[in-house]
């Protein structure tokens, strides 16, 4: 009895141990499954830099963030797209990522090449070049942050290899948008030449600035003075500048109260006003400038300049069609720089096509003493202005062409400055003698040129 009882107890104990082990194994398996599911759903927190668009200027803007990314590549890409589709609130950011944009496949190849195949909704409306280009670089720049990724190859289901949606040509991108990260942002600063005309110096400012920061840095650069010693800045030194803010389409320049003690002649004051307004209204999304002192409106500045109302570029005559702003070339300290000439019109120019044709004709006939790399007799064979993006697509026939790449670049500068002065034109895409990629000297014109 005792033995049986012992054996019975032993058997019972053995069954209890076996059952406990089984329960333990099941619990471990369940924990692994739950943990795996959690990681798949929530992902691991990873520091990334996401790229959006400035809501006003439509320039690319980097935005550091911490994202929870799954382990599967296609889900990582899908997660990035979802984050890009909804910009952070209250930061002035926008996106070009449409609602139906999805990740179909994503494979990390040898060498860190991430091959991504995307899909778009069937009812996806067409995009212009500027918007499509922004979408492309939003995706590329952001996906380069994924772990182990050194380069990106993007394609879209149903599109030929090497094309994105319509206009943008794709290739293996080894780094983020070079224009944004390596070259900075180019701005046009208006200084005064010896003859009293306004000469443009291009200046490179840091990227990633807000609209207000960009306007502030441009104003500071203007007040610090030109590179060429033969040019002057009519503005006083930077010590009288309190700050610059941009709200809507208005840039407000705030001066210290000490600016009221400065004495200037009427001509100098006019140059201060024009230099400042011409510079700031070249920035994307800025159409008027308000001058403040100590954060408050004042009736006058420097003695004569009326500052009660906002100041418009060339007093609004461009929008009225009563003036054309055209840029020829003047020699300054051995360099050829763009110089502004305003041509008054006896009657208002009606229609954008007329303004474009007249601007091109005037470029070929510079004022006496100036030069132009846009030859006389240049003709327009096609022009299309996209109202939604402000992109002017222009085809020109011209001969002779500039002799080298540097001269070609300067000719395109003349075209860019002159044609983006026209109302509603913020981008220029130009073709010359049938070429939409390279000019004979090697200058690349396949990209859009911004105002």
pLDDT tens digits along 178-230: 444 434 688 999 999 999 999 999 998 877 788 899 999 999 999 999 999 99
Is residue 80 situated within a structural domain?
yes
pLDDT tier for residue 303 given thresholds of 50, 70 and 90: low
List the domain range (segments joined by +) for residue 221: 185-316
| Same domain? 310 vs 232 | yes
User: With 0-12 CB in 10 A as exposed, 13-18 as middle and 19+ as buried, what is 73?
Assistant: buried
| Same domain? 326 vs 432 | yes
List the structure tokens of 244.
């610059």
Is residue 100 situated within a structural domain?
yes
Name the residue among 138, 142, 275, 148 with its Cα closest to residue 201. Answer: 275
**pLDDT of residue 52 exceeding 70:** yes
pLDDT number for residue 286? 93
pLDDT number for residue 308? 80
Examine the fold and report which residue of 254, 281, 316 is the final residue of a domain before the chain moves on. Answer: 316
pLDDT number for residue 343? 96
Range of lowest pLDDT (60-69, 269-278, 421-430, 433-442):
60-69
Strands (E), 35-150: 44-54, 60-69, 93-94, 102-109, 113-119
Is residue 132 situated within a structural domain?
yes
| Same domain? 219 vs 148 | no
Is residue 45 situated within a structural domain?
no
Q: For the residues 115-139, what does the mean pLDDT come to?
A: 86
| Same domain? 294 vs 200 | yes
pLDDT number for residue 304? 66
Is residue 75 situated within a structural domain?
yes
Share of the chain above pLDDT 90, in %: 52
Which residue reads 């202005």 in tokens?
A: 385
Please tell me the pTM assigned to this model. Answer: 0.63
Q: Which of 62 and 417 is assigned the larger pLDDT?
A: 417
Q: For the residues 261-276, what does the mean pLDDT come to?
A: 87
Is residue 44 situated within a structural domain?
no
3-state DSSP assignment of residue 354: helix
Q: In what order do the strands lie in the sheet with 44-54?
A: 60-69, 44-54, 93-94
Is residue 341 situated within a structural domain?
yes
pLDDT number for residue 68? 81
| Same domain? 124 vs 167 | yes
Give residue-wise pLDDT tens across range 377-431. Answer: 999 999 999 988 899 999 999 999 998 889 999 999 999 999 999 999 999 999 9
| Same domain? 128 vs 209 | no
| Same domain? 233 vs 273 | yes
3-state DSSP assignment of residue 429: strand
pLDDT tier for residue 34 given thresholds of 50, 70 and 90: very low
Q: For the residues 107-128, what does the mean pLDDT come to?
A: 87
| Same domain? 308 vs 427 | no
Q: For the residues 143-153, what does the mean pLDDT come to?
A: 89
pLDDT number for residue 20? 57
| Same domain? 325 vs 443 | yes
pLDDT number for residue 357? 95
CA dist., res. 345 & res. 317, Å (int): 10
pLDDT number for residue 185? 80
Q: For the residues 123-145, what does the mean pLDDT come to?
A: 85
| Same domain? 171 vs 196 | no
Q: In the chain, how many domains are there?
A: 3
Examine the fold and report which residue of 316, 341, 357 is the final residue of a domain before the chain moves on. Answer: 316
The overall average pLDDT reported for the chain is 85
Residue 90 to residues 55, 93, 263, 381, 409, Cα–Cα distance (Å): 11, 8, 42, 44, 39
CA dist., res. 128 & res. 168, Å (int): 10
pLDDT number for residue 18? 52
Is residue 26 situated within a structural domain?
no
| Same domain? 110 vs 191 | no
Examine the fold and report which residue of 275, 295, 316 is the final residue of a domain before the chain moves on. Answer: 316
**pLDDT of residue 250 exceeding 90:** yes
User: With 0-12 CB in 10 A as exposed, 13-18 as middle and 19+ as buried, what is 428?
Assistant: buried
Strands (E), 298-365: 300-301, 305-306, 311-312, 323-332, 335-344
| Same domain? 190 vs 292 | yes
């Amino acid at each position: 009895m005792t033995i049986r009882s012992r054996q019975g107890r032993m058997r019972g104990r053995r069954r209890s141990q076996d059952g406990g082990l089984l329960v333990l194994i099941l619990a471990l398996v369940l924990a692994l499954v739950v943990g795996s599911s959690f990681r798949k759903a929530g992902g691991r927190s990873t520091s990334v830099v996401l790229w959006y668009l400035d809501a006003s200027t439509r320039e690319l803007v980097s935005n550091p963030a911490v994202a929870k990314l799954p382990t599967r590549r296609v889900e990582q890409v899908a997660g990035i797209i979802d984050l890009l589709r909804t910009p952070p609130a209250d930061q002035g950011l926008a996106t070009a990522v449409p609602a139906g944009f999805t990740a179909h496949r994503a494979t990390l190849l040898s060498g860190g090449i991430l091959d991504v195949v995307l899909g778009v909704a069937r009812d996806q409306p067409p995009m212009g070049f500027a918007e499509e280009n922004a979408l492309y670089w939003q995706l590329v720049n952001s996906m380069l942050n994924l772990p182990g990724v050194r380069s990106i190859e993007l394609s879209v289901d149903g599109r030929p290899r090497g094309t994105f949606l319509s206009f943008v040509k794709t290739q293996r991108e080894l780094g983020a948008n070079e224009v944004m990260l390596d070259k900075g942002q180019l701005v046009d600063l208006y200084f005064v030449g010896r003859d009293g005309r306004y000469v443009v110096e291009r200046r490179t400012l840091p990227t990633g600035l807000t609209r207000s920061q960009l306007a502030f840095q441009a104003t500071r650069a203007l007040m610090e003075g030109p590179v060429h010693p033969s040019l002057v800045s009519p503005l006083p030194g930077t010590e009288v500048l309190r700050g610059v803010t941009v709200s809507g389409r208005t840039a407000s320049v705030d001066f210290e109260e000490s600016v009221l003690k400065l004495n200037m002649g009427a001509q100098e004051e006019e140059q201060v006003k024009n230099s400042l307004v011409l510079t700031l209204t070249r920035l994307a999304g800025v159409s008027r400038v308000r001058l403040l002192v100590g954060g408050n409106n004042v009736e006058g500045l420097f003695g004569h300049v009326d500052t009660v109302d906002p100041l418009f570029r060339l007093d609004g005559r461009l929008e009225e069609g009563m003036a054309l702003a055209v840029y020829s070339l003047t020699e300054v300290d051995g360099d050829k720089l763009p110089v502004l000439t305003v041509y008054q019109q006896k009657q208002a120019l009606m229609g954008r096509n007329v303004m474009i044709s007249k601007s091109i004709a005037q470029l070929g006939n510079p004022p006496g003493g100036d030069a132009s790399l846009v030859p006389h007799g240049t003709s327009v064979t096609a022009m299309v202005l996209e109202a939604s993006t402000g992109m002017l697509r222009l085809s020109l026939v011209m001969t002779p062409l500039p002799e080298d790449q540097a001269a070609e670049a300067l000719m395109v500068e003349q075209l860019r400055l002159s044609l983006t002065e026209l109302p509603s034109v913020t981008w220029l895409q130009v073709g010359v003698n049938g070429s939409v990629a390279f000019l004979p000297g090697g200058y690349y014109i396949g990209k859009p040129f911004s105002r």
